[in-house]
Structure 1
Amino acid sequence: MSITTYGLQQIKKELQHLPQEQLAELCLRLVRYKKENKELLAYLLFESHNEQDFMESIKAEAGFMFSQLPAQSYFTAKGLRKILKMLTKYTKFIGTKPAEIELLLNFCQNYLQYVVRQTSYKPIRLILTRQLDKIKTSIGKLHEDLQFDYSQEYNKFLDDADSKLPWINKKSYLL
């Protein structure tokens, strides 16, 4: 026997009819089972009112993780994926495209600063190229004013990357 899975609309309607005490009990019960649920609720309760400070702390944590990357290519790639996993989780918490773009641009700038530039290890290169593609598509989904601001920052990064990384093809990533 399996439990019926209801849609989001049905759950939303049912939650609107519950008293506040029962709703709080359900939230606490849900938080008990998964660490990510607990982190999301903590973000919504304590951090969401000051998004900029939260993003700065994420950038600082990512910068620290970059500074701790090992020298061997295989382990560097694993470390980069771990950083991206953390950034993706926090981007979901924040839930806005500008925040995602800002965090990914910060990731790319840290990549330039900390990752070995002459590497021939393809997974390390692919990590950066995927993030550039992700940024490029995210910028396209923004309002025109924001597109202009972020595209300037993105193109500035591409210029910097083109001068430092011999293997990157700047023309294929330009907006």
Structure 2
Amino acid sequence: MKPATAVQIRKELKFRSKEELEQLCLRLSRFKKENKELLTYLLFEADHEDSYVEEVKDFITQQFKEIPATNFYRTKKRIRKILRETKKFIRYSSVKETEVALLLHFCDEMIHYSNSVKRSKTMLQLYERQLALIEKKIAGLHEDLQMDYISELKELPRHNL
């Protein structure tokens, strides 16, 4: 079965009543955890973006604290998982400042996590790619915000490979 396009869905939703839309949202939230997380963001956290950013930053910090430092293979896997989850949280928010703030926090936590990360070429490449992405995203922000985020970015160490 081929899914409908966004335009087709939008047109169809215009013909539905409020009760039908409510039932559709509730049914949608039952099938995937990400759907439920997105609805939670839209309903409860979209109006309070600053608290959402702080909550996600706390989550990232906590995830880094829980990484087992004994096995480097598992450490790499966990760092990649944390990055995937961070990007998922970024997708929920359409605010560009949120993306930059969360990626900066991720990079800060990653580079200060352990010396083993700094010795791994793979992890340093991942880190550098995120820094390049942050630079690209900062360029699209307002000038005042650019200056703030650029100063934060300059505080992060660079490792030329």
Please say whether Structure 1 and Structure 2 have the same fold, judged by a TM-score greater than 0.5: yes
Runs of 4+ in 1 over 6 A off after TM superposition: none
Match for residue 119 of structure 2? 120
Secondary structure of 1:49's match? coil
After TM superposition, give the deviation of residue 74 of structure 1 in Å.
1.4
- Unaligned 5+ segments in structure 2 are none
Answering whether residue 136 of structure 2 is matched by residue 137 of structure 1, we say: yes
CA distance in 2, matches of 1:27, 1:94: 18
After TM superposition, give the deviation of residue 118 of structure 1 in Å.
7.1
Answering whether residue 53 of structure 2 is matched by residue 55 of structure 1, we say: yes
Match for residue 165 of structure 1? none
Answering whether residue 72 of structure 2 is matched by residue 73 of structure 1, we say: yes
RMSD: 1.9
The number of aligned residues is: 160
Match for residue 36 of structure 1? 34
Superposed, which structure 2 residues align to 1:68-107 within 5 Å? 68-71=66-69, 72-107=71-106
Q: 1:49 to 1:123 in 2, by over 3 A?
A: same
Deviations along 1:75-100, whole A, 9 cap, x unmatched? 11111111111111111111221101
Secondary structure of 2:56's match? helix
Amino acid in structure 1 at the alignment position of 2:81: K
CA distance in 2, matches of 1:118, 1:89: 23
Amino acid in structure 2 at the alignment position of 1:18: R
Q: Taking every aligned residue pair, what percent have the same amino acid on both sides?
A: 40
The match for 1:25 among 23, 46, 50 is 23
What TM-score do you get using the length of structure 1 for normalisation?
Answer: 0.83
After TM superposition, give the deviation of residue 45 of structure 1 in Å.
1.2
Is the 2:111–2:117 contact (alpha carbons within 8 Å) kept by the matching residues of 1? no
CA distance in 1, matches of 2:117, 2:83: 21
After TM superposition, give the deviation of residue 127 of structure 1 in Å.
1.9
What TM-score do you get using the length of structure 2 for normalisation?
Answer: 0.89
CA distance in 2, matches of 1:92, 1:27: 19
CA distance in 1, matches of 2:119, 2:94: 35
Amino acid in structure 2 at the alignment position of 1:87: T
CA distance in 1, matches of 2:28, 2:116: 45
